[in-house]
Structure 1
Amino acid sequence: MAVVSIMNNQSRYRRPISRPDRLNESDGDLWLFQSPDSGRKFRDSDGSDNELALEDLVTCCVDGSSPHSCSLQTCERVTINVSGQYYETWASILNKHPTTLLGNPRKRIRFFDKDRGEYFFDRHRPTFESIFNYYQYGGKLRRPEPVPDDIFLRELDFYQIEKEKIELYKKEEGYVSEKMVLPENPCKRKIWLLMEYPETSFAAYVIAIVSVVITVLSIILFCVETVPWLSSHDCVNGKPNFADPYFILETLCTAWFTYEVFIRLFSCPSKIKYFKDFQNLVDITAVIPYYVTLSNLLSPDGCDGDSAGTSLAFLRVIRLVRIFKLTKHSAGLQVLILTFKASIEGLLLFLVALFVCILLFSSAIYFAELSQPDSQITSIPDAFWWAVITMEDLVTCCVDGSSPHSCSLQTCERVTINVSGQYYETWASILNKHPTTLLGNPRKRIRFFDKDRGEYFFDRHRPTFESIFNYYQYGGKLRRPEPVPDDIFLRELDFYQIEKEKIELYKKEEGYVSEKMVLPENPCKRKIWLLMEYPETSFAAYVIAIVSVVITVLSIILFCVETVPWLSSHDCVNGKPNFADPYFILETLCTAWFTYEVFIRLFSCPSKIKYFKDFQNLVDITAVIPYYVTLSNLLSPDGCDGDSAGTSLAFLRVIRLVRIFKLTKHSAGLQVLILTFKASIEGLLLFLVALFVCILLFSSAIYFAELSQPDSQITSIPDAFWWAVITMTTVGYGDKYPVGILGKIIGSIAALTGVLTLAIPVPIITENFNKFYAHKTGRVKQALIRYLVIKKSVVVWVGLVAYIAAY
């Protein structure tokens, strides 16, 4: 009689197929058996027999498309235990991938536990879920959303998944191949490393820097030579002007670019791949305009006005491709190109939808305005420009390797951990790598050991332990699961006694700000420092913070109001300082408070060096300097001279604007914003690089497109920068706009590109803001609670003293 147990998902252990003499009816599991007289039946724990089609039960042999001809007698069922999580499948399913660890019986046998009849792997559990599906459903790799890339790839390498499958997964995930293909010739190999891989040597890094500098210089020349009052002529008196500074600089730049082209072509590993590479085509295209221009100037009729002007204008446009040379040395631009390349289908869908909408609305507006005598829409194509600009404003609303241990089943002790009913299994040697933690120290964890069940039991938060368990398995890297709140996660880390430096590193990565209170050793200075720096420590400190905020706000209001013409006053009256001016009196009071804050903080601070390194303290010092400079200027003999006084005071008023940053000392919201932009600096720089490239492209394109228009408003490429910025940022002041058809097409593309470019930093800033806001508001609430407790105790003591005094 063939017997198999079908266990529920909560069971800890799976029994292998056996042939017992009688059925154990005391077990509450479902048992399938082959009865000689009644055919296929199943018996439940109540002892009742029921008819069952065996084919319905063996569909676990399915290979992803259709069930195979497998029976319980011919298929071996394999039980896999991954750190306490159990999986069962048919051996035939695994054996379809014979080169992998699980698919090769000889490879996987060393992980077999004879006593328990299972294969045990002390590996990452969430990743194995994907690997298990890989075997069941035709070898398709899908990374689970919460699993980091590095862990997923490490697990794929451990289970020896086929290289071509991993490469396919990397390609779908957008990985860039970093395989270094080198020439066989030693001399060419050295040259190729110098030109292509700046990270390989200092000389290669210097060459890369020189290339970037020359490329940027060439782009600047390209823009500056279009400015009318800075432009020069290629021909003077019918002869080429080889003494022109622009021509000399362009010759030097082109000489370097030509050198790069030939040296790369000489040393490249494959000539065919060289000409297929987009970067190399850019390098070649970047030098062609110079040589064509030079041959044109040296020809007999090269300085004829019409031919020279037409050819040179066209060649200047071609030189614009040099901006793409920057992508060779800019990781940010490479990321942008890969992003747009991977998003090409979505972008095409967006453009198709936009084209349909533009066509619909331009047609509708044309017929709607047809009967209006003063209508500006003369045709449907003419309405395209209106539709693009109108819809572009609407679109912006939507933008918003190896095993971790060398352990064998015979030499290592296996530990079972039960966390509120969720089981985990690992080797004791893995836990013992962190001897200062609760689980890593046998003496600490022994008090949680259940001798009857042979397991460690913890009545703790289960989702958090998944991350802590991975921390032990993968070198002490803490990653908070997405649904787990910060306070619970930190509380669990504290319970399991995770190393302090690891927790501090986690807090730093998560955007926590250090709350360590550094105090002076002197008792008197300590009290003063607490009063000035920590409003939550006492009621008096809270009052001082409120006063500081009020005076700062008053100072900012004065700064704004005194610029209103009908409310302004004069610093000097009849050639003498006007010390009776109300603005001067209020400014003096504000500055006196700011000066008091500076000196009292400087006197009581724990460290003078750290004091001057703190941005907030530098703001405090800068906030008082303008007043004293202004006062000394007014008290000087010629302080009330019109020109000198006006110039100096206007400059000093601008410096006073830094007082607004004093509010960050007492405003959690402003601190969150500063931390957000600080953490998002890489994303913002990437956005600025992308914006700069687009501005340069579109300003150059609009300049040459509008060059032949008599009423063009674009006089040079630098002049077109303003138009490009206003168009791409969807502001559209309307002071500059294209006139010609080609210019309007370029303007439409610029507006649409601006919408996509503006979307780059949004998710980065949003993610960091949410992270910092959650941390900061939590601390503010705690500080408010502490303050209310302090305030309540103060009120109680005051009431008690008043009661005693009264009686």
Structure 2
Amino acid sequence: MIKKLSKNGLERLISGMEYKTWSSTLDKFPDTLLGNAKTRKYFFHDETNEFYFERNRESFPAILHFYQSRGYLERPPSVSLETFVDDIIFFQLDHYAIIFEDNEDYTFCGRLMSLLSVIFILISTISFCLETLPEYDDNYINIGSEDEPIWRYQEKIESKPWNDELKGFPFFIVESICIAFFTLELILRLFSCPSIRVFCKTPLNIVDIVAILPFYTSLLRKDIEALKSNEYRYFLARKVAQNRKKERCTATQTRIIRILRVVRLAKLRPVREFSFLVLFFIVSMVIFSTIMYFIERDFNDGFSSIPAACWWCVVTMTTVMEPVIKIDLNKQIMLSPFISWLRRRSANICRWKMR
């Protein structure tokens, strides 16, 4: 029930327990039962000066928090999904409520979607890291022998159509499949969201959009180039061969950030904090390794690939020995040492949390 105090505009909400809020807080959502004075007046009792609602008491704090948080609605763990859905329909919040297709707490399809999302994130990240190995990168040439290869980076300038015989093409196929899944997931979330504006303002959704957008923009550009040169059948492969380094780095970083969503899998309370620390270590290692790879690969043979740069990150973070890969301060000024400093600070955070 709700007790109304008209003088100061304060309304005291009571649903087995007393709650307090301002009338202006409820008025922010006029298309709901509590937010519309005309609809809630039917539940007003003149004798007691109260609004009475015969609903679940444990659901009401979450419903009140929806108004106080300007639209954040979350089911309390102690309330069943069926009961909570009935309550939000009663209070006319159903068009604000959404159960995402990857919410593993609710449905089997949600658990399956969440698992697939994590699997594709891991596959995409591992594929990109392996793609930078000199053995699989056409931008590296072997100046040594087959038994003892010596790889040198030589960025290709000429345009050359790719085919399935080139060693980098399988990684493009893997990337295309992963991007297709991420796009499908994003579309499902977008169409199931009641407010596109709120959806686009969510930081995680922004990361998802930025992660897949460069793939399609570069693909479209290569498509147009292929049509002009009458080589349409090769435009998919040419996307990888002609991608600019800056665009590739941007897509990589945003794609790697998606792995942070794996945190949701750490549901067991005894190991939750430890799982988060392990995840933070792995994610930061991949991110910093990727950054250092793009900075140093033209100048330092020790950063010939992302997996090779991962060893530098492990040594830097654990501080078990002096870094085996030296950084030339004269070539990259202070950018590489600054990344190294950030890496050490992230290691300090991990060690502090482990105490």
Asked whether the two chains share a fold, i.e. TM above 0.5, the reply is yes
Verify: 1:319 aligned to 2:241, yes or no: no
Match of 1:195 in 2: 101
Q: 1:165 to 1:316 in 2, by over 3 A?
A: closer
User: 1-side partners of 2:177 and 2:65: how far apart?
Assistant: 48
User: 1-side partners of 2:308 and 2:281: how far apart?
Assistant: 17
Q: Contact (CA 8 Å) 1:265, 1:271: kept in 2 or not?
A: yes
- 1:206-245 correspondence runs (5 A): 206-232=112-138, 238-241=160-163, 244-245=169-170
With structure 2 as the length reference, what TM-score do the two structures score? 0.59
What's the offset of the Cα at 1:323? 2.8
Q: Which has the larger radius of gyration?
A: 1
Q: 1:732 to 1:310 in 2, by over 3 A?
A: farther
Match of 2:173 in 1: 248
User: 2-side partners of 1:166 and 1:313: how far apart?
Assistant: 42
Which amino acid in 2 is paired with 1:211? S
Indicate the SS of the match to 2:188. helix
Q: 1:757 to 1:722 in 2, by over 3 A?
A: same
Q: 1:166 to 1:287 in 2, by over 3 A?
A: closer
Match of 1:734 in 2: 323
Match of 2:148 in 1: none
Structure 2 stretches of 5 or more lacking a match? 1-7, 21-56, 76-80, 140-154, 230-234
User: 2-side partners of 1:273 and 1:748: how far apart?
Assistant: 36
- 1:401-800 correspondence runs (5 A): 681-709=271-299, 711-739=300-328, 740-741=332-333, 742-762=335-355
- 1:309-348 correspondence runs (5 A): 311-312=244-245, 314-331=247-264
Match of 2:188 in 1: 263
Which amino acid in 1 is paired with 2:310? F
Match of 1:284 in 2: 209
Q: Contact (CA 8 Å) 2:65, 2:73: kept in 1 or not?
A: no
- Cα deviation, 1:65-84, whole Å, max 9, x if unaligned, reads xxxxxxxxxxxxxxxxxxxx
- Cα deviation, 1:465-499, whole Å, max 9, x if unaligned, reads xxxxxxxxxxxxxxxxxxxxxxxxxxxxxxxxxxx
Which amino acid in 1 is paired with 2:220? S
What's the offset of the Cα at 1:313? 5.0
Q: Contact (CA 8 Å) 2:293, 2:304: kept in 1 or not?
A: yes
User: 1-side partners of 2:274 and 2:195: how far apart?
Assistant: 38
Pick aligned residue for 2:219 from 294, 299, 302: 294
User: 2-side partners of 1:274 and 1:706: how far apart?
Assistant: 37
Indicate the SS of the match to 1:737. coil
User: 2-side partners of 1:222 and 1:717: how far apart?
Assistant: 9
What's the offset of the Cα at 1:263? 2.4
Match of 1:484 in 2: none
Which amino acid in 1 is paired with 2:217? V
What's the offset of the Cα at 1:704? 0.6
Q: Contact (CA 8 Å) 2:218, 2:243: kept in 1 or not?
A: no
User: 2-side partners of 1:223 and 1:198: how far apart?
Assistant: 29
What's the offset of the Cα at 1:308? 6.0
Which amino acid in 2 is paired with 1:734? P
What's the offset of the Cα at 1:223? 0.5
User: 1-side partners of 2:11 and 2:337: how far apart?
Assistant: 61
- Cα deviation, 1:282-313, whole Å, max 9, x if unaligned, reads 1211212222332344425899x9x9667145
Match of 2:12 in 1: 99
Q: Contact (CA 8 Å) 1:257, 1:286: kept in 2 or not?
A: no
Which amino acid in 1 is paired with 2:114? A
User: 2-side partners of 1:270 and 1:96: how far apart?
Assistant: 30
Indicate the SS of the match to 1:239. coil
Q: 1:226 to 1:165 in 2, by over 3 A?
A: closer
- Cα deviation, 1:169-198, whole Å, max 9, x if unaligned, reads x99xxxx962599999xxx99xx6452422
What's the offset of the Cα at 1:702? 0.7
What's the offset of the Cα at 1:275? 0.6
User: 2-side partners of 1:329 and 1:721: how far apart?
Assistant: 20
Match of 1:562 in 2: none
User: 2-side partners of 1:261 and 1:208: how far apart?
Assistant: 13
User: 2-side partners of 1:208 and 1:248: how far apart?
Assistant: 22
Which amino acid in 1 is paired with 2:108? F
Q: 1:328 to 1:283 in 2, by over 3 A?
A: same
How many percent of aligned residue pairs carry the same amino acid? 24
Q: Contact (CA 8 Å) 1:730, 1:754: kept in 2 or not?
A: no
What's the offset of the Cα at 1:164? 7.0
What's the offset of the Cα at 1:269? 1.1
Q: 1:96 to 1:312 in 2, by over 3 A?
A: closer
Q: 1:273 to 1:224 in 2, by over 3 A?
A: same
Q: 1:254 to 1:311 in 2, by over 3 A?
A: same
Pick aligned residue for 1:178 from 74, 98, 108: 74
Q: Which has the higher contact order (CA 8 A, sep 6+)?
A: 2
Which amino acid in 2 is paired with 1:323? I
Indicate the SS of the match to 1:99. strand
What's the offset of the Cα at 1:748? 1.2
Indicate the SS of the match to 2:303. coil
